[in-house]
Amino acid sequence: MTDKLPSKPHNPLVFFEDIEDLEAYINVCIEEYLETGDFQELGKSLETLIKAQGKISTFSKRAEITRQHLHALFKSKKEPKFHTMLKIFNELGFSINISREHKKAS
């Protein structure tokens, strides 16, 4: 019989070298969402980031979003509204910057 090893809470953020890597990860997920319209990957990444900060219930109170609403977003059962995304990113410590994209002439 094997003894169980004590488990430590897993922090997925340790896979990122620095905050710039984390920002790049979120930006890639956002770009994929904008290209495909599929919120699943972005929802999973947000779930990972929120869980890394602690309890979802605590985050939901601080962000003023119900826990049920967050879980629906994580499971892609609900398409997020812009103001909801702003609340989530703000509570995660991110801001959204708008810049003009220079498209190549075809």
11 located within any domain = no
**According to the model, what pLDDT value does residue 8 have?**
46
Q: How many structural domains are present in the chain?
A: 1
CATH no. for residue 77? 1.10.260
Per-residue pLDDT of the chain (106 residues), as tens digits, is 455 544 444 455 556 667 788 788 888 888 898 899 888 888 888 898 888 888 999 999 999 999 999 999 988 887 889 999 999 999 988 888 888 877 776 6
99 located within any domain = no
78 located within any domain = yes
- 3 state SS for 31-83: HHHHHHCCCHHHHHHHHHHHHHCCCHHHHHHHHCCCHHHHHHHHCCCCCCCHH
- Domain region containing 36: 16-92
